């Protein structure tokens, strides 16, 4: 009797969580929603942390376009 009640409680918990699974699987912001570099104003930047894992032990690379800054 105890095993049947436990199984019923587990099954009920799984059924209630099932509709929330697709909503939780969607990302909050996709790459298509990010602004392009041409749309940025001076002082703005776009950060892509998912392209490379952050490391505090290695060097930092920064790319600066002088012609675009002087425009």
Distance CA 70, CA 67 (A): 5
Could you report the per-residue pLDDT of 6-35, keeping only the tens digit for each?
888 887 876 676 666 565 555 555 555 666
Write out the two tokens for 26: 């969607």
Structural domain that includes position 37: 2-70
- Name the domain count of the chain: 1
Q: Would you say the pTM of this structure is higher than 0.85?
A: no
What are the b/e assignments for 34-51, b being 16+ CB within 10 Å?
A: eeeeeeeeeeeeeeeeee
**Residue 58 in contact with residue 52, Cβ under 8 Å?**
no
Could you report the per-residue pLDDT of 42-71, keeping only the tens digit for each?
888 777 666 666 666 677 777 788 887 765
Query: CA neighbours within 13 Å on the CB side: how many for 67?
Result: 0
């Amino acid at each position: 009797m105890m095993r049947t009640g436990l199984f019923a409680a587990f099954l009920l918990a799984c059924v209630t969580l099932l509709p929330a699974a697709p909503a939780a699987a969607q990302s909050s912001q996709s790459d298509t929603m990010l602004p392009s570099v041409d749309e940025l104003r001076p002082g703005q930047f776009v950060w892509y942390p998912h392209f490379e894992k952050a490391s505090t032990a290695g060097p930092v690379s920064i790319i600066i376009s002088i012609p675009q800054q002087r425009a």
